[in-house]
A and B are shown apart, each in its own frame.
Chain A
Amino acid sequence: MTRELVVYSGRNRPNLAPAYRLFEQLTGTSVRVEKIYHWDVEQQLIALHHARMCW
């Protein structure tokens, strides 16, 4: 089964898509990017951590 790396990213700049694609091809790990709005990223990280929603 292909492993998946989830990247929580506050912004879409810089555009890291080329780096994601290279990492996928070199490691066989798929990369899924989920946006977290950067302005309140601190509280969202804490909430995710406590809820164990995603990891």
Chain B
Amino acid sequence: MTSSQLALETVRHTGVFEPYPAPIAREYPNWLSAPDYSWLSFTAWPRVAMINRRVLGDDTVSWPAGLEDLCDARYRDRIGCASLVEATTVAQFAGLRIAKGDAYVEQLLDRLRANGLRIFHCNLDTREPLVREDLAALLANSSHVHVFHLEGNAVEAWLDQEEDEVGTHVEAHTVAVLKGCKEPERARDFVDFLLTAEIQSLLHACTARRP
């Protein structure tokens, strides 16, 4: 199991997985499983902006609506993101490169850095500075925002939602059965178990991952 489709898709062509077209997964949208069902996603996490309402207030007009907005001077030195240690950061910008091209993304990153983008070691490390240092907005996984929201600190904003915009990057926790494993039937049973509505609901309640 991984926190991203990226690693499993990267290695899929080597044949290390035993494809399993789980009945529930066959009803999925295409993007939630490998074309040959070598891997299956079981919970999703949108990549959002974590908003500090103490800085930006409750009026969403003052909130960033897209990644481009984070390059605006009104957010200068008040934005942040986890480093490339996090597969989530890699996946977000890799996806953006495919959607909008290398040149655009490299320029976007340059402009974000020029606007004072803070780079934190990991997603977990982004939460505390948001409040402690009065930052305005951070790129984060929605589950981190959820945990922080429970403490009364922040809310999430989905970026780039206009019709002609690129949309929100949504990644997914993903599971695969290893080819030649000792207990293939048990492994498939476990995959089916993970995908049940009951376990999806449990994971949503416990971890704020989206079913």
Contact = CB atoms under 8 A, between A and B. Distances in A.
Q: Is B one of A's binding partners? A: yes
Interface of A: 3-11, 13-16, 18-19, 22-23, 26-27, 29, 31, 38-39, 41-42, 45-46, 48-49, 52, 55
A32 B203 CA distance: 19
Contact of A3 (B143, B186, B207): B186
B110 interface: no
A14 B209 contact: yes
Contacts of A23: 190, 193
Interface of B: 1-4, 7, 10-11, 14, 16, 43, 85, 87, 143, 173, 178-183, 186-187, 189-190, 193-194, 199, 202-203, 206-207, 209
Contacts of A5: 183, 186-187, 190
B2 A41 contact: yes
A13 B65 CA distance: 28
A13 B202 CA distance: 14
A13 B16 contact: no
Contact of A49 (B1, B2, B179): B179
